[in-house]
Structure 1
Amino acid sequence: MFKQSCTNLKKLPKQRVRKWLGGIETIIFDADGVLWSFGEAIKGSVDTFNLIRSLGRNTFVATNNSEALTETLVKKALGFGYELKEQELISSSMSIANFLASRQFQKKVYVIGEQGVADELAKVGICSEFKIKDELTVPSKQFAAEMEIDEDVGAVVVAKDDNFSVAKIIRACNYLQNPKTLFLATCVDASYPIGVGNRIIVGAAAMLAAVQAICKRKPLILGKPNPLMAAELLQCGVIKPETTLMVGDTLHTDIAFGCNCGFHTMLVGTGVSSLKEAQALIEDDDDKKKNMIPDTYLPSVCDLQEFLC
């Protein structure tokens, strides 16, 4: 309906928007920057999310957050007041675990990341080298020469890691010297706003760039925007692309994910990307960026309420 236009729904007649939304059976929300920001729900998002559910729409949450188990993220959502079931949340770490399980992966995984990645792998019976506390207490040359290499490691996963270090880069890159070792990552989010002025924190893309620059290998990204993240929902017919809306705050992950899956897409202005950035993509001649153009825009998720009556 709105393709390649980034239509601001607030500037359209309400009846036209309501008619369009009437054909949407499923809404998938990003979490951070759309429903909540760190330890606080975004204003009006809880009521909007629950209203959509009460109207009989399917609701899901798709997040690149790999810091915790899906069960823990669902508990976080429930704590804010969102009516969300465990099977309605998909994460990048869960996507990696499912990918390896589907390949009947039998080896170990070296993880640069947080506990959530290791825990999701453990749920599907995959052992991870996660608790190795790599720190450079000696010169890097000595560390590389003396570190033990586990020959049973068959994959390296890179995710956001608050304890990222040169030692972890060295270990990961040495495992990746073996071309048979899988190179996987959760996402390409470079940074996240923290809601304090213009301050940001570092995302997984920074860790990934360091490893990739050294090993000269391209990782398989299994979080958004990879459509594999929604493959199970699509294959079993739980959702249909033509009646599904993806709502996100980041153009190169959320919106590209929605486009790659064939969903309708909506950008909200409560997180990483802005309407101005989205409009600039329309004028950009780079065809590779066209999948980041959202169909629609609203300042916040809560603005959906006026079109849902």
Structure 2
Amino acid sequence: MAGAFAFKGCQKIRGAQIRILLEAKDFFLFDCDGVIWHGENAITGAAKVVNALIRRGKNVVFVTNNSTRPRENYVNKFTRLGFTDVMLDQIFSSSYCSALYLRDVVKVRGQVFVIGCEGLRVELLEAGIPCVEEADDPDATIYNCALAPDVKAVLVGHDDKLTFLKLAKASCYLRDPECLFLATDNDPWHPLSGGRILPGSGSLTAALEVASGRKATVIGKPSRFMFECISSQFSGVDPAQCLMVGDRLETDMLFGSNCGLDTMLTLTGVSQIEEAQEYRSSDLTTNHSYVPDYVVDTIADFLPAFEEIEEQNDD
């Protein structure tokens, strides 16, 4: 394949270039929001692309920083949106990887205080990790509420029911230097329809970092740990044979760069090619890690490449 990738470097590719890439790579990592779907609507052609990759024997996994739902819910959503071949073991969410980190890496011995949605707690409990039960009186304050004993970790994820009391409790637990401080991800915000945004886990983590004077260990993208989870569950994963496809430069492209993967930006989500070009032109070499190797308008651009491969095989 020498010279096959002369078109790398924030280049928009199509047709034969995509076909060469599809034939060369064995492992495809996809972000979900903005790449595979928008809310409850699949990106046009995404299901055909994913199903075709799987049926051609490619390894396909999904790496998402969304910690709000357990993996079983993702399987149901994939099926509902027409992704008929996606299985549970292909899904690596920041909530699932956080549970693996607590269980297998740090081997936490005690309770975990969770700032996050129910899906995050479900993943922890399925991994056998006890979570602090929230049972405060509605009028409770940090002055008179109970603090749980034996809290060995604080884990912050997306929490649409965040309260000042939760933040205050977490700050108290983190005064113990032996208490771990973890974040599912550091996404700052998420786009909503009508130009509105939703604060992400990163904004909640930042508040707690200021309150505690500590820095959280981030589990999700762009941390390498999610790739280590994949490598531990799929034998023979070679970074050189992987392609990371995402929509966010500061998360997905940096994740790929950190893990030694080729990266592809799809323009159906947060980041646009002009931002990538600005990073490429930056005098700061650290900004170059945000630059994708390849750019496509949408992953549906893979479909003509599949047709070319089929025509070649027919010949």
The normalised TM-score by structure 2 is 0.90
Corresponding position of 1:75: 76
* Residue 237 of structure 1: how far off its partner (Å): 2.6
Gaps of 5+ in 1: none
Question: Given the alignment, which residue of 90, 94, 97 partners 1:95?
Answer: 97
Secondary structure, aligned partner of 2:194: coil
Q: Which whole-Å deviations, capped at 9, do the CAs of 1:177-231 have from their partners, x for residues lacking one? A: 111110000111111112x232222211111111111111110000111111121
Runs of at least 4 residues off by over 4 Å: 132-135
Cα distance in 1 for partners of 2:16, 2:70 equals 41
Secondary structure, aligned partner of 1:128: coil
Corresponding position of 1:172: 170
The amino acid of 2:237's aligned partner reads: I
Q: Which whole-Å deviations, capped at 9, do the CAs of 1:70-124 have from their partners, x for residues lacking one? A: 1111111111111201001011011111011113212100000001111111111
Corresponding position of 2:311: none
**CA distance change for structure 1 residues 175 and 2 in 2, over 3 Å: closer, same or farther?**
farther
**CA distance change for structure 1 residues 4 and 216 in 2, over 3 Å: closer, same or farther?**
farther
Secondary structure, aligned partner of 2:86: coil
**CA distance change for structure 1 residues 307 and 219 in 2, over 3 Å: closer, same or farther?**
same
Cα distance in 2 for partners of 1:3, 1:161 equals 41
Alignment of 1:122-271 (within 5 A): 122-129=125-132, 131-132=134-135, 137=139, 143-194=141-192, 196-235=193-232, 236-271=234-269
**Contact 1:111 1:130 (C-alpha < 8 Å) held by counterparts:** no
Gaps of 5+ in 2: 308-315
**CA distance change for structure 1 residues 39 and 16 in 2, over 3 Å: closer, same or farther?**
closer
Bigger Cα displacement from structure 2, 280-289 vs 90-99: 280-289
Cα distance in 2 for partners of 1:33, 1:130 equals 34
Q: Which whole-Å deviations, capped at 9, do the CAs of 1:24-63 have from their partners, x for residues lacking one? A: 1111110111101111111111111112222221111111
The amino acid of 1:150's aligned partner reads: A
Secondary structure, aligned partner of 1:59: strand
Question: Given the alignment, which residue of 101, 113, 116 partners 2:119?
Answer: 116
**CA distance change for structure 1 residues 76 and 16 in 2, over 3 Å: closer, same or farther?**
closer
Q: Alignment identity in percent?
A: 32
* Residue 3 of structure 1: how far off its partner (Å): 8.5
Bigger Cα displacement from structure 2, 253-262 vs 213-222: 253-262
* Residues matched between the structures, number: 300
RMSD of aligned residue pairs (Cα, Å) = 1.8
The amino acid of 2:55's aligned partner reads: S
* Residue 132 of structure 1: how far off its partner (Å): 4.3
**Contact 2:132 2:148 (C-alpha < 8 Å) held by counterparts:** no
The amino acid of 2:129's aligned partner reads: I
Cα distance in 1 for partners of 2:31, 2:79 equals 15
Corresponding position of 1:284: 282
**CA distance change for structure 1 residues 54 and 180 in 2, over 3 Å: closer, same or farther?**
same
**Contact 1:30 1:249 (C-alpha < 8 Å) held by counterparts:** yes
* Residue 129 of structure 1: how far off its partner (Å): 1.7
Does residue 301 (structure 1) correspond to residue 299 (structure 2)? The answer is yes
Q: Which whole-Å deviations, capped at 9, do the CAs of 1:235-262 have from their partners, x for residues lacking one? A: 4534211111010011111111111111
The amino acid of 1:232's aligned partner reads: C
Does residue 5 (structure 1) correspond to residue 9 (structure 2)? The answer is yes
The normalised TM-score by structure 1 is 0.92
**CA distance change for structure 1 residues 130 and 39 in 2, over 3 Å: closer, same or farther?**
farther
* Residue 284 of structure 1: how far off its partner (Å): 1.4
**CA distance change for structure 1 residues 147 and 300 in 2, over 3 Å: closer, same or farther?**
same
Cα distance in 2 for partners of 1:283, 1:16 equals 24
